[in-house]
Chains A and B, each alone.
Chain A
Amino acid sequence: MSDEIAYATIRELGTRYRKRELSPVEVTSALLTRIEKLDPLLHAFVTVTADRALEDARMAEAALRRGDENPLLGIPVAHKDIYLTRGIRTTGGSALFADWVPDEESTVVRKWREAGTLLLGKLITHEFAFGIQFPGHKFPAARNPWNLDHVPGGSSSGSGAALAAGLIAGATGSDTGGSIRGPASFCGIVGIKPTYGRASRAGVMTLSWTLDHTGPMARTVEDCAFLLQGMAGHDPADPASSTVPVGDYLAPLRRGMSGVRIGVPRNYFFDGVEPEVQAAFEEALGTLRKLGAEVRDVRIPSLHAAHSFLLILLAEAYAYHERDLRERPQLYGEVLRERLMSGALITAAEYTQAQRIRSEICAETAAVLQDVEVLATPTTPRSALPFTMAHDPEVGFVKSNMAPFNLTGLPTLALPCGFSGAGLPLSLQLSGRPFEEGTVLRVGHAYEKATAWHTRRPPV
Chain B
Amino acid sequence: MADTHELTLDELRDRIRAAGVPIPDNRLAMVRKLLTEALAPVRALDSRTIRTVEPAVKFVPKAEE
Interface residues of A (CB under 8 A from B): 243, 304-308, 310-311, 314, 325-326, 329, 335, 338-339, 341-342, 344-346, 350, 352-360, 362-363, 393-394, 396-397
Contacts and interface: CB of A to CB of B under 8 A. Distances in A.
Nearest to B41: A305
Contact of A310 (B21, B24, B37): B37
A344 B19 contact: yes
14 contacts: A243-B62, A307-B40, A308-B42, A310-B37, A310-B38, A314-B35, A341-B23, A344-B20, A345-B16, A350-B39, A353-B50, A356-B55, A357-B41, A358-B55
A348 B35 CA distance: 14
Nearest to A325: B21
* Contact residues of A: prevailing secondary structure: helix
Contacts of A344: 19-21
B51 A360 contact: yes
B31 interface: yes
A241 B28 CA distance: 39
A396 B33 contact: yes
Contact of A305 (B19, B23, B45, B47): B45
A355 B12 contact: no
B63 to A, nearest CB: 8
Interface in B1-40: 12, 15-16, 19-24, 27, 29-31, 33-35, 37-40
Contacts of B64: none
A439 to B, nearest CB: 21
Interface of B: 12, 15-16, 19-24, 27, 29-31, 33-35, 37-42, 44-45, 47, 50-51, 53-55, 62-63
A342 B31 contact: yes
Given A345-B19, A397-B37, A357 B30 contact: no
Contacts of B24: 338
A236 B43 CA distance: 38
A210 B62 CA distance: 22
Contacts of A393: 27, 30
Contact of B55 (A307, A350, A359): A359
Contacts of B53: 356, 359-360, 362-363
A394 B30 contact: yes
Given A338-B23, A342-B31, A345-B12, A311 B51 contact: no
B62 to A, nearest CB: 8
A394 B32 CA distance: 10
Contacts of A329: 22
B34 A342 contact: yes
Contacts of B39: 311, 346, 350
A339 to B, nearest CB: 6
Closest 10 CB pairs of A and B: A305-B41, A359-B53, A344-B19, A310-B38, A345-B15, A355-B55, A308-B41, A338-B27, A311-B38, A353-B42
A305 B44 contact: yes
Contacts of B38: 307-308, 310-311, 314, 342, 346, 397
B35 A342 contact: yes
A279 B17 CA distance: 49
